[in-house]
Amino acid sequence: MHHYVTQGYVLPNQAHIYWTMMIVLYPYITGIVAGAFIISSLHHVFDRDELKPVSRFAMLMALAFLLCAPLPLLAHLGHPERALNIMFTPNVTSAMAGFGFIYTIYLLILVVEIWLLYRVDIVFLASNAKSEMMRRLYWILALGVTDISEEAKALDRKVMLFLAAIGVPAACFLHGYVGFLFGAIKANPWWASPLMPVIFLLSAIVSGIAMVMVCYLIVQWFNKRPVDSECTQSMMESAWYFVMVDVALEGLELLNHAYMANHDWDIMKHLILDKLLVSLFVVQFLIGSVVPFLLLGAAVVFRNRIPAGVRNVMGFVSGILLLVQVLAMRWNVVMGGQMFSKSFRGFLDFQIDIYGREGLLAVLFLFTLPFVAMLVFSRVLPLWGPISTFPTRWLRDKPPEYVPLKNLTKFK
């Protein structure tokens, strides 16, 4: 049970904060999906070969987080068994119903693209996996398409290129739509803004890039493998560019509220300078934005003067801080918009519960599920490159070295 403290004039029917930490977690997970997919597409669509070491990992990370994205919403619902009603009895005027269809379309695009990317490897593993059970699993995953001729592989990659190209706007639309869900609520001045979808999208890209970079560095350091400095440098540059625009837009949004000084500014001013002072200015802007901006900027501008190992550490610290920044941004948006009363004359406080269906432990549990899914993926498919990088202890035969196809080398 939450313990609410109200201040000022708050009507009895407004004395509860209904959207709790699960609604903070939901856009956070969804945002990582969009950012990870864009990192993968930068290699597959835009020929950023320096991102090749993380391209497959980023795509599977997008799938892992996408599969878990609806779970916070289901945990928040009083009757989660009714969730699919928005699909079976769609209402064209419902924003949440629209999100259900966008989510489904994007999930299909991503699954088909991953299947095409790994199809040749799956066919090889269907006959060369050491375990009989795994060979049967790969046989099912191949879906009966076992042709791995050069013509078949070329067709796979052309279709995958097409899906990757339409997947980028789909990923942007998916998370921009999450921002739209907040920005379209006209009765709440903290949320109602045409910039909200853009801010959500940019912060999503920042969090996705940061998550891929942090996970890549942790895995390489843990396994004592060399870090591809060109790859981390490219991710640091991308994160730096996106965080500049993201923070600038968030600052302009606040400046716009202050300059217009509408009738709701009096309550919003107290919200910003009192209730959200630490989470907004200290955590989100100072620790989560300014510090990584300076670290990433130094790594980009003084690239030739700073050793690669030091730049990797700077990228790791910056990635962690950027993840904190985006989480703080989600918290400030979701909670901040519910902390002032609709009468604009009172405030509510929200205290975090540890236990319960929407408590801190439940949130942490749901947030670990995408990583568990990635561990499962790593047992089934090679995450960090072609089939030759798959552990040989799980194979009966040595994997072949594929020759890149003409004009399609970027998929190898």
For the segment 76-88, what is each residue's pLDDT rounded down to a tens digit?
Answer: 988 888 888 888 8
What span, in angstroms and rounded, lies between the C-alpha atoms of 244 and 79? 41
- Report whether pLDDT(406) > 70: no
- pLDDT value for 301: 95
What span, in angstroms and rounded, lies between the C-alpha atoms of 325 and 291? 10
Query: Picking from 8-17, 129-138, 296-305, 365-374, which range would have the lowest pLDDT averaged per residue?
Result: 8-17
Give the model confidence (pLDDT) of 201-249 as tens digits.
999 999 999 999 999 999 999 999 999 999 999 999 999 999 999 999 9
- pLDDT value for 411: 43
Average pLDDT over residues 169-194: 85
Opening angle at CA 235, ends 321 and 44, nearest 5: 140
- Report whether pLDDT(96) > 90: no
pTM tops 0.75: yes
Q: How confident is the model at residue 161 (pLDDT cuts 50, 70, 90)?
A: confident
Question: Coil, strand, or helix at residue 395?
Answer: strand
- Report whether pLDDT(330) > 90: yes
- pLDDT value for 403: 55
Place of tokens 């190992």: 309
- pLDDT value for 410: 46
Helix ranges (DSSP H) in 129-195: 132-141, 150-183
Higher pLDDT, 405 or 252: 252
- pLDDT value for 351: 84
What span, in angstroms and rounded, lies between the C-alpha atoms of 100 and 90? 9
